[in-house]
Amino acid sequence: MKLINNIVVVGAGTMGSGIAAHLANADCKVHLLDLPSKISRNDITAKALENIKKSDPPLLYHKEKIKNITIGNLEDDFDIISEADWIIEAIVERVDVKHNLYEKFSVKRKKNSIISSNTSTIPLKILTEKLPIETKKDFCITHFFNPVRYMRLLEIVEDCKFKNPKIEKLKIFCQEILGKGIVNCKDTLGFIGNRVGVYSIQCAMYEAINKKIPIEKADAIFGRPLGIPKTGVFGLYDLIGIDLMKDVLKSFEKGLKKNDSFYEYVKLHDVAENLLKKGFKGNKTGCGFYKTNFSKIANPTKVLNYSKGIYYDYSKVDIKILTDAEKLGSKALLDDDSIYGEYAFKVFSKTILYCCEILNEISNNIVEIDNALKWGFNWYKGPFEMLHDYGVERFYQRCFDRNEKIPIYLEELKNKKISCYDNNTKSFINTKFKKIFIKTPKNTYRLCDIKRTSHPVFSNESASTWLINHNKSDVLCVEFHTKANALDGKAIDLLNETLSQVKSKGAVGVSVYNEAMNFSAGADLKTFLNFAEQKSWTEIDKYLKSFQETCLLMKYSNFPVVSAVSGLAIGGGFEVACQADKMIAHMNSTLGLVETSVGLIPAGGGCKELLWRWVQDKNFDDKDEAAVKAFNIVGYGLTSSSPIQACDHKFFLKNCDITANNKDELLFNSCSIIDEMSKNYQSKIEPKFCLGGYKIKNKMGEILEELKDKKIITEYEVQVGLHLAHVMSGGNTDKSKVLSERDILKLERESFINLISNVKTKDRIRSMLIEGKRLKN
């Protein structure tokens, strides 16, 4: 039973609606209230509900979750406050308005309820200054990040002198049911995430412009090579909204002490101010630092030349040191003596120095700061983890040589010849320079902690295997670590090697898992394109066969294999995930087979697997109809934005696969499943296919022709569809013949090779690679 069931959200704006939607995902009973309207009493909340339904990316796991939200207004429905376990305020950032509302909450609420504010700027002591002591005890700040469903960070600020167990229960609820990463913050301006994150963004923008680095190059540097999302700084500004960033900076300028180092960058840069004067606010207006021109298909985006105030076409940034840094690690870039390396180190060092400067003020726990940046800004590593990896002594010396002001924390680390983390004891060094063991929530394994204190069993530049001891049993964990975790030959080879060595390593099974944003965005198309341009069809067949055989080895080994999925698991990534014994998927996982978007078909067993899932569905008396259903799903390149939604397409099997609310549960739960399954493990029985052949292929062809007549697809896409139909119908067969999995896999390979030999397909792949995109729906 959930700790909290009945929740009222007051404020139906972007944040309030997002919070309500995510609570609905957890099957809580949610009342969404706002001011009454003259048009219709519930007009504001009714529109918010419609926006939730139409949201993209979707705020709901499944459209049916909307039934968990009841709308109302603060006059007609205020009595519902008395039934709430948790009252969440998400209204305008005006203290007087909030105080007035809290006074009413205090009178109406039930005794054991919790009140929280989603404020990002107003300190707790100001919010609660007029409240009676009993209400103060039950009040905290719950600062969700937008979009609420997808952003993992939840910052909580509480009055520690009360030590209220109800707030602790709220944290457990938010962690286990809502899937949030909880960061405990001191009652300071901007808390942790925005204080450090916005500083870093401002520093990156100012320094790029100071050094006259073009926007697209600055974003490429302050991005993947440093373990930061590819939006970089200018792209992130456009995403957030330049106008909103101005408001955020105003709150910092007003509230920070004048000697705070943030003041160096606290004002909105003149370049951004000039954009606002023109009405350019970023993505919401289609124009900001980047400009979108949807009429120009080949390259729809232009970028601002901030010196001249004009936009220009640009190509994918191709700088060798950035490519090297993605392969070799951020040190390669930070130590480079080019202007790009200098810029990267400047932002990197300023951010870390600022974290050290304000450490005592915002949190004496460096793990909280690292988690805030990882969960709230999607950094791969937090600032102190980056400092630890770079080396405290080396970092100190470089900063000292540059005459940077050295904060006490960094000075003492250097003097004591210690790092901020201790690999051997899984501990960190606090501001009193004592070792504090890192606490993780129950039933949690974090691969980053395991990697910090051990060495891989197998490793190459594309993947690594780690040994995890779970309940006295050893489990091997395969981690992909290419760009977007695209599956190249080395990644597949390492997976194969791991599967082949399980027993010799004394392990009971294999978990395929990683802590990156995506499980895998698909196969490495660049390799296929290179083979195709050289007309090396035998090499493509060999490559595909290796991929297929590795997936079959996963499926039919004499030990359990579990895929633990979050983010994108599409194309080849899904083919790996779906051929494990079980899939455990985070609720924000995107699953699907999207190869037709570039003129190919799945050829790692995806067609075969989805075909089998549908033809054995007991709801289909006619197995040909089931095959057509699978054909349509693959043909349209459909994806699902949650495992619940994925059940509709059989990307996720309701009676077999398992969901996880919190990403931290994935690795631990996959190990638990493997440990339990290994005690009485039975290998799967290979399926046999009896398919309709030409008869059903003709029916699929008719569907394609009808779509072409309606101008939904082109003649080229008809040809792609016919190759898919050849596979999904079983090829030259009929229902009197029995086909094995390998028969279907052979058809996959043949059709894939025929398609990639097509000039249009190669052009599509080439165009996608030039634009730097991965397969997506």
pLDDT in tens, 113-146: 999 999 988 999 999 999 999 999 999 999 999 9
Q: Which pLDDT band holds residue 772 (cuts at 50, 70, 90)?
A: low
pLDDT score at 773: 47
CA-angle at 627, arms to 623 and 629, nearest 5°: 115
461-488: pLDDT as tens digits: 999 999 999 999 999 999 999 989 999 9
Over residues 182-191, the pLDDT tens digits come to 999 999 999 9
Residues above pLDDT 90, as percent of the chain = 89
Question: What is the H or E stretch that residue 593 is in?
Answer: none
CB neighbours of 618 closer than 8 A, spacing ≥ 6? Answer: none
What does the pLDDT average to over 382-396? Answer: 96
pLDDT of 163 > 90? The answer is no
Which contiguous run of DSSP H or E holds residue 340? Answer: helix 339-357
Which among 341, 242, 325 is positioned nearest to 285, based on CA atoms? 242
Phi and psi at 469, nearest 5°, equal -90, 120
Q: Which of 659, 639, 630, 600 is nearest to 730 (CA)?
A: 630
Is pTM beyond 0.75? Reply is yes
Give the CA distances from residue 109 to residues 172, 361, 407, 457, in Å, rounded to whole numbers and listed in that order: 22, 34, 46, 56
pLDDT band at residue 326 using 50, 70 and 90 as cut-offs: confident
Percentages of the chain per state (helix, strand, coil), in multiples of 5 = 50, 15, 40
- Label residue 295 by pLDDT band (50, 70, 90): very low
Mean pLDDT of all residues in 258-278: 96
Q: Supply the pLDDT for residue 2.
A: 63
Peptide bond into 225 cis (omega under 30): no
List the structure tokens of 391: 């080396």
Instruction: Spell out the residues 6+ positions from residue 320 whose beta carbon is closer than 8 angstroms to its own.
Output: none
Contacts (Cβ under 8 Å, ≥6 apart) of 24: 30, 60, 65, 66, 68, 69
CA distance 583 to 566: 11
Task: List the Cα angle 370/372/378 in 5-degree steps.
Answer: 90
Q: What is the mean pLDDT of residues 319-336?
A: 91
Among 526, 561, 518, CA closest to 543 = 526
Q: Scanning the structure block, which residue is given the tokens 């995107």?
A: 590
What's the pLDDT at 38? 85
What is the Cα–Cα distance from 13 to 658, expressed in whole angstroms? 33
CA 436, 441, 443, 449 torsion-angle sign:
negative
Question: Average pLDDT, whole number, for the chain?
Answer: 94
Say what the pLDDT of residue 298 is: 43
Among candidate residues 555, 427, 573, the one with its CA nearest the CA of residue 488: 573
Q: In what order do the strands lie in the sheet with 435-437?
A: 421-422, 427-429, 435-437
Give the dihedral sign, CA 132/138/142/148.
negative
Residue 1 pLDDT greater than 80, yes or no = no
| Band of residue 768 on the pLDDT scale cut at 50, 70, 90 | confident
pLDDT of residue 133: 95
Q: What is the pLDDT of residues 516-541, one digit of tens each?
A: 999 999 999 999 999 999 999 999 99
Q: What are the backbone angles phi and psi of residue 28, rounded to the nearest 5°?
A: -80, 155
Kind and range of the H or E element at 82? none
Q: What is the 3-state secondary structure (H, E, C) of 176-199?
A: HCCCCEEEECCCCCCCCHHHHHHH
> What per-residue confidence (pLDDT) applies to 697?
96
**Measured between alpha carbons, how far is residue 356 from residues 362, 391, 409 in Å?**
10, 15, 6
Mean pLDDT value of segment 285-297: 76
Q: Which residues of 753-768 are buried (b: 16+ CB within 10 A; e: fewer)?
A: bebbebeebbebbbeb
Given a contact cutoff of 8 angstroms between Cβ atoms, the answer to whether 158 and 136 are in contact is: no
Tokens 């002001």 label which residue?
A: 405
At 483 the pLDDT is 86
Q: Count Cβ atoms within 10 A of the Cβ of residue 60 and give its class: 0-12 exposed, 13-18 middle, 19 or more buried.
A: buried
Does the pLDDT at position 253 exceed 90? yes
**C-alpha to C-alpha distance for 495 and 476, rounded to whole angstroms:** 10
